[in-house]
């Protein structure tokens, strides 16, 4: 294995089967040049990002970020994959590494940014937020830096972003949509939803993908069928709430819900209020 490019003393790239890989290891590039053999005993981590654009951006980032920050970020990402049982988009290697680097810089300068969505993030993305809290613990244990809970919220959003493969701005908008719909349901029925229940979890999952469809202009729109009319009649109270949600979507996003979206919303609302 030959060095293709020296990025810094701790990072190199190699070409393997026509694919560029980024390799990290303390001192792996010390006094080395392109074409030299890679010291395999010094390899600590190999990054196999899918696209050339991702590799290029990642290499650029590694010029600036201390290797220990990269290592802890990679640990956080691996932990997230294991805990969630999901594949995360490669963008997280860039976005989360960059965020943690910047967050530590801000912390060292005494600058703290408040996360205005922290309360919503805790409620809507519970599994991901637990990973965010664990990330703060990893940063504390590995780097001796105590970041505030707000940063767990920001880390959570990067994980959600990588799960759904959306732009971060869209994730913030999605979170607002989900929270607003939950508030509409809560006040329409004048009750507090059981956030630990399976039906609440199902409702949240539905809302996440509904918000994603709304923002990507891909609302479900099959032909109206008999089930829609049946659900409207059978779950009248839930359907009334769905109409309020439709009004909200129309006012805030200038969209009208399709019959199929109304159908599924009504079914989920009925579930969550009956067995909350």
Low-confidence ranges of the chain (pLDDT < 70): 222-225, 275-276
Which class is 5-49 in CATH? mainly beta
pTM score, two decimals?
0.74
Quick one: fold of 67-165? PTS-regulatory domain, PRD (1.10.1790)
**Listed residue (230, 261, 231) closest to 245, CA to CA:** 261
On whether the CB atoms of residues 238 and 269 are closer than 8 A, the answer is: yes
Return the exposure string of 243-260: e unless at least 16 CB atoms fall within 10 Å of the residue's CB, then b: eebbebbeeeeeeebbbb
Task: Tell me if 105 sits within 8 A of 69, measured CB to CB.
Answer: no
pLDDT confidence of residue 114: 85
The CATH superfamily label for domain 169-274 reads PRD domain (1.10.1790.10)
| Topology agreement, domain 67-165 and domain 169-274 | yes
State the pLDDT at residue 276: 44
* Residues 101-139 pLDDT 10s: 999 998 998 888 888 889 989 989 999 999 999 999 999
Residues 6+ apart with CB under 8 A from 214: 177, 249, 253, 255
Domain ranges of the chain: 5-49, 67-165, 169-274
């Amino acid at each position: 294995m030959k060095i293709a490019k020296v990025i810094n003393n701790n990072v190199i790239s190699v070409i393997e089967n026509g694919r560029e890989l980024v390799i990290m290891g303390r001192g792996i590039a010390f006094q080395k040049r392109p074409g030299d053999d890679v010291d395999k005993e010094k390899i600590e981590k190999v990054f196999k990002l899918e696209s050339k654009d991702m590799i290029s951006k990642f290499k650029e980032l590694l010029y600036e970020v201390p290797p220990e920050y990269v290592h802890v970020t990679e640990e956080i990402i691996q932990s997230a994959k294991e805990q969630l049982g999901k594949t995360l988009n490669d963008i997280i290697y860039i976005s989360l590494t960059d965020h943690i680097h910047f967050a530590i810089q801000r912390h060292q300068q005494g600058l703290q940014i408040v996360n205005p969505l922290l309360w919503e993030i805790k409620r809507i993305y519970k599994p991901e937020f637990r990973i965010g809290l664990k990330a703060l613990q990893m940063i504390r244990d590995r780097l001796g830096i105590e970041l505030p809970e707000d940063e767990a919220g920001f880390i959570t959003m990067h994980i959600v972003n990588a799960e759904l493969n959306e732009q971060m701005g869209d994730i913030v908008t999605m979170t607002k949509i989900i929270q607003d719909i939950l508030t509409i349901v809560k006040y329409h029925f004048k009750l507090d939803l059981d956030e630990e229940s399976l039906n609440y979890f199902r409702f949240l999952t539905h809302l996440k993908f509904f918000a994603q469809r709304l923002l990507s202009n891909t609302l479900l729109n099959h032909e109206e069928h008999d089930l829609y009319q049946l659900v409207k009649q059978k779950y009248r109270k839930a359907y009334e709430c769905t109409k309020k949600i439709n009004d909200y979507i129309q006012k805030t996003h200038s969209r009208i819900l399709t019959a199929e979206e109304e159908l599924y919303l009504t079914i989920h609302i009925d579930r969550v209020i009956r067995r909350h």
